[in-house]
Amino acid sequence: MRPRRRSALLACLVVDGPGRPQQAILDELRRVILDGSVPPGTPIPLAEVAELFGVSQIPVREALKTLIGEGLVTHRSNSGYAVAQLTPQELREMYIVRETLEVAALAAAVANATDEDRAAVVAANEKLQRAIDDDDPVAYHRLSREFHLALTRPSRLHRLLRMLESAWNVTEPVQSMVHVSRADRVALHADHREMVEAFLAGDGERLRTLAEAHAQRLNTVIGKLSAETGLLSLPDISSPQ
């Protein structure tokens, strides 16, 4: 029998010492999944993770249950735990959820924005521009999230913002912006510049219109991602609809 390959996730986990509490285990597993260190579908071997952290399997299993609830981990009886892998349709749906929540927050964000908030949006956009100039897709992906959250955070709609972050988290393992073309990233960033101008001008209606157009472009770009990359899974046609 061929020996089972060691999961790439194990090499990415940072363990300060044995016997870490369940919350620390949860936070570390979530960090590795969200920062793109391991692709969707990566196995999460329960026993080996527990051994690495110096704990029994119980706190690791409980942490994984929480991550299943967050949409970041899946579990199947015949294959164990793995980083969640979306189908193309599920990915598109989550981007629609993100768009809906973001647009809902923008009017309040413009109305409530302080000088500090506006400076944060400008700074986030400047970081994105540097990522474009450096042709750094990994940085662009990470900073794009930072930019969009900077736009919506001034809304002070805390429950909505938590929902937005949760929806964003579900799409993070795919690392979409890392896998699209540079031309698509440049086009998306051009949208960002216009959105900044509307935000600074206090024009909530224009910002909303621009955000909706940006979402349409983003959906088109995301639609180019193929399940053949291994990032997305094919739908299970045997599952009941």
Token representation of residue 55: 């704990």
pLDDT, position 7: 82
Q: What is the pLDDT of residues 72-103, one digit of tens each?
A: 999 998 889 999 999 889 999 999 999 999 99
Strands (E), the chain: 43-44, 73-76, 80-83
Distances (CA, A) of 191 to 82, 207, 209: 35, 10, 11
Q: Which residue ranges make up each domain of the chain?
A: 9-83, 88-228
Q: What DSSP state is assigned to residue 173?
A: G
- Domain 9-83, classified CATH 3.90.1150.10, yes or no: no
Please give the single-letter amino acid code of residue 53.
Answer: F
At residue 237 the predicted structure's pLDDT band, cuts being 50, 70 and 90, is very low
- Domain 88-228, classified CATH 1.20.1300.10, yes or no: no
Q: Which residues contact 77 (CB under 8 A, 6 or more apart)?
A: none
Q: Which residues contact 21 (CB under 8 A, 6 or more apart)?
A: 59
Q: How far apart are CA 46 and CA 60, in angstroms?
A: 7
pLDDT, position 241: 41
Reference 9, options 41, 227, 181, 131; nearest CA is 41
Bigger pLDDT: 212 vs 4: 212
CA atoms within 13 A on the CB side of 69: 7
